Structures are given as C-alpha cells and as structure tokens.
Amino acid sequence: MGSINVVVTGRVQGVGYRWFVHELAVSHDVSGWVRNRRDGAVEAELHGDQAQIDDIVRAMRTGPPHAHVDTVELREIPRQTNHGFEIRRAR
C-alpha cells in the first residue's frame, strides 16, 4: 500500500482535470481526494495499491484533452484510512 501527495502545474484548471483524476482513482480502487489550488495547480492525495497509484500518476502526466501538464511533483505521505475518492473545493 502506498500514499502520495501530487501537485500538477500547467494548464490543468478549467479542462476537466479533477474529474479526470476522480475517474482514474475510482476505476483503480484508489482512495483520496483532488482539488484546484488558488495558485493554478491541481493537488491530489492518492492512497492504495502502489501499482494502481503508479498507473494514475502516469496518466496524470498527460492529463485529459485540452490540458497541458508542465510539472508533476510527488511526495510520499503517511498512509491514510480514506474511503472513496472526492473532489474538494479549491484551497
């Protein structure tokens, strides 16, 4: 099991990026959350099987159509006991 914090920069707001991540997480049975940040980035926490998280991060490096990803920063975090995956309000 793994847990990571992901911050993605580029043209990632207003292009369906959060919904893209939500659908990936649900289909890979990964819990956590995703949200827009006020600085224009998208931030997510992913908790689950490491291979599934790796698949999601690989897809996040490209994003949905109309997105343009500049950077993807990863940071390991302590394991959380989250259930489900949610889209949160900007912070």
pTM for this model (two decimals): 0.93
Residue with more model confidence, 80 or 22 = 22
Residues 6+ positions from 91 with CB-CB distance below 8 Å: 35, 37, 38
In a domain, 18, yes or no: yes
Question: What's 65's DSSP letter?
Answer: T
Q: Which positions are catalytic?
A: 18, 36
Provide the β-strand partners of residue 2: 48
Structural domain contains residue 43: yes
Q: Summarize pLDDT for 22-63 with one digit per residue, the tens.
A: 999 999 999 999 999 999 999 999 999 999 999 999 999 999
Q: Could you tell me which residues come within 8 angstroms of residue 66 by beta carbon, excluding any fewer than 6 positions away?
A: 11, 15, 16
pLDDT of residue 83: 79
What is the H or E stretch that residue 80 is in?
A: none
In the β-sheet with 42-48, what is the strand arrangement from edge to edge? Answer: 68-76, 2-11, 42-48, 31-36, 85-87
The CATH code of the domain that includes 11 is 3.30.70.100
Residue 84: inside a domain = no
- 15 occurs within a structural domain: yes
